[in-house]
């Protein structure tokens, strides 16, 4: 049996949730470029996400951002997604685009503004009941720009109180997932800047509160796989927002900037039991999601490339000979252990994965198959008139 054949079964059932906002136009503060075929409705975003799933078999769910994806009838949206072949996934709240939140939302000094932000999360929970979603993901754009501007401790206490009100409202089968980010839009301090703060806040809430690790939200040089290991060890890694960064929160295609880092992260995920298909019972509570924007490239192939990158690095991480690695580590064989690790990273699995896909009725090369499918030309011709959706 080849090394790939030995791990092939563990690729079965891998699922990577797509963000609805990846299909809208996006850009930087300098310019948002429009592109032909961009969705004009939530339904068109879902249809594009379902297309990524059809070509890859890897993306069975779409995450929504509220209010970007606000509709009147979420049950109908759920049925529409089902007809397209996908399910609705994580519901992301949004407290970063309302003037009332200039000085904070869940941390604001004014109880009326805090309650408004809490009510927004209650609305998200109602939506989750209609969409069948498990996770409420909270990222807070809260902080301050100048030393002395805010009472850091008071804000942390108010955050704990607000989160507790939200947590009390989620259903038995639902989870509260708290994302951290070290800076931006606030530049001096951020209220949930790191995994430790997120961990402290969710630990105070209870079992169904967990941490979201967005790979783009760390300072340069941070050992992200160490954080992955620690959160898994503590039973608090809830989900990933995958993307790539060179400088700050770049939101580039996962695995594009630093494929080796993605490999190291996925190795720790597997090692720590966070990758279901490699576990004896085939289960894991860690959700894989993308959080990306496609500013200059076509969005659907951008998402196809992304999920393939995650699958490819998962396969390579599964190839690590754990017994040999363990033996070398125990023996203090520094270069031997490193060699075992690098052998797996440097294995080209692309041909094996193409064959694996074909065996399952999927295109061997999803990028090529999408380009040849005519879908892009079809949406470009059909989606004229109306307003193209953008990231916000």
Given the complex with ligand PSV, which of 142 and 241 has the nearer CB atom?
Answer: 241
Given the complex with Mn ion, which of 11 and 22 has the nearer CB atom?
Answer: 22
Contacts (CB under 5 A) with Mn ion, residues 181-220: 214
Considering only 17, 241, 312, 352, the residue that binds Mn ion (CB under 5 A) is 241
d(CA 299, CA 304): 9
Query: Under 8 Å CB-to-CB from 243, ≥6 apart: which residues?
Result: 214, 215, 216, 250, 251, 252, 253, 254, 290, 291, 292
d(CA 20, CA 133): 14
Given the complex with Mn ion, which of 10 and 190 has the nearer CB atom?
Answer: 190
Closest distance of CB 159 from ligand PSV, Å: 16
- Token pair in block for residue 292: 């990306």
> What's the distance, CA 124 to chain centroid?
18
Given the complex with Mn ion, which of 241 and 298 has the nearer CB atom?
Answer: 241
> What's the distance, CA 24 to chain centroid?
16
Closest distance of CB 19 from Mn ion, Å: 8
Only segment of 2-10, 92-100, 161-169, 240-248 that touches Mn ion (CB under 5 A): 240-248
Cβ neighbours around 36 below 10 Å, total = 13
Closest distance of CB 234 from ligand PSV, Å: 21
Closest distance of CB 171 from ligand PSV, Å: 22
Contacts (CB under 5 A) with Mn ion, residues 80-109: none
Given the complex with ligand PSV, which of 214 and 352 has the nearer CB atom?
Answer: 214
195: DSSP letter = H
What are the b/e assignments for 307-337, b being 16+ CB within 10 Å? Answer: bbbbbbbbbbbbbbeeebbeebeeeeeeeeb
Given the complex with Mn ion, which of 26 and 51 has the nearer CB atom?
Answer: 26
Backbone angles phi, psi at 307, to 5 degrees: -70, -30
- Token pair in block for residue 236: 């608090």
Residue nearest to ligand PSV (CB): 139
d(CA 95, CA 179): 13
Considering only 98, 100, 249, 285, the residue that binds Mn ion (CB under 5 A) is 249
d(CA 92, CA 101): 17
- Token pair in block for residue 53: 């799933």
Given the complex with Mn ion, which of 60 and 216 has the nearer CB atom?
Answer: 216
Closest distance of CB 250 from Mn ion, Å: 9
Q: Which of the choices ligand PSV, Mn ion, none does residue 92 contact, using the CB cut-off of 5 to 8 A by kind?
A: ligand PSV
93: DSSP letter = P
Contacts (CB under 5 A) with Mn ion, residues 288-317: 291
Query: Which residues contact ligand PSV by CB under 6 A?
Result: 21, 92, 139, 179, 181, 214, 241, 249, 291
Give the bridge partners for 87, in sequence order: 61
286: DSSP letter = P
Q: Which of the choices Mn ion, ligand PSV, none does residue 21 contact, using the CB cut-off of 5 to 8 A by kind?
A: ligand PSV
Given the complex with Mn ion, which of 218 and 271 has the nearer CB atom?
Answer: 218
Only segment of 19-27, 245-253, 322-330, 334-342 that touches Mn ion (CB under 5 A): 245-253
Closest distance of CB 391 from ligand PSV, Å: 7
């Amino acid at each position: 049996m080849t090394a790939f054949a030995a791990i092939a079964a563990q690729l079965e059932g891998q699922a990577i949730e797509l963000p609805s906002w990846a299909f809208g136009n996006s850009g930087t503060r300098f310019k948002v470029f429009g592109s032909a075929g961009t969705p004009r409705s939530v339904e068109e975003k879902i249809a594009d996400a379902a297309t990524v799933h059809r070509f890859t078999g890897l993306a069975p769910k779409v995450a929504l951002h509220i209010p970007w994806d606000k509709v009147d009838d979420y049950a109908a949206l759920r049925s529409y997604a089902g007809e397209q072949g996908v399910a609705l996934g994580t519901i992301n709240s949004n407290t970063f685009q309302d003037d009332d939140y200039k000085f904070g939302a869940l941390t604001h000094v004014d109880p009326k503004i805090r309650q408004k932000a809490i009510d927004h999360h209650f609305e998200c929970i109602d939506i989750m009941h209609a969409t069948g979603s498990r996770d409420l993901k909270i990222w807070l754009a809260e902080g301050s720009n100048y030393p002395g501007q805010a009472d850091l401790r008071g804000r942390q206490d108010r955050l704990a109180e607000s989160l507790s009100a939200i947590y009390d409202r989620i259903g038995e089968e639902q989870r509260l997932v708290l994302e951290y980010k070290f800076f931006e839009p606030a530049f001096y301090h951020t209220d949930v800047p790191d995994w430790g703060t997120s961990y402290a806040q969710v630990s105070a809430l209870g079992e169904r509160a967990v941490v979201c690790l967005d790979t783009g939200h760390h300072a340069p040089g941070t050992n992200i796989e160490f954080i992955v290991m620690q959160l898994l060890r503590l039973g608090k890694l809830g989900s990933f927002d995958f993307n790539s960064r060179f400088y700050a929160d770049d939101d580039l295609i996962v695995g594009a900037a630093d494929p080796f880092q993605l490999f190291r992260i996925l190795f720790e995920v597997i090692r720590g039991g966070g990758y279901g298909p490699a576990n004896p019972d085939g289960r894991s509570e860690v959700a894989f999601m993308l959080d990306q924007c496609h500013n200059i490239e076509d969005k659907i192939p951008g998402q196809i490339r992304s999920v393939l990158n995650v699958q490819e690095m998962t396969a390579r991480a599964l190839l690590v000979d754990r017994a040999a690695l363990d033996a070398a580590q125990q023996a203090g064989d520094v270069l031997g252990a490193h060699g075992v690790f690098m052998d797996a990273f440097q294995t080209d699995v692309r041909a094996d994965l193409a064959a694996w896909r074909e065996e399952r009725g999927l295109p061997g090369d999803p990028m090529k198959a999408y380009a040849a499918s005519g879908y892009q030309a079809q949406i470009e011709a059909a989606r004229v008139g109306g307003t193209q959706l953008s990231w916000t």
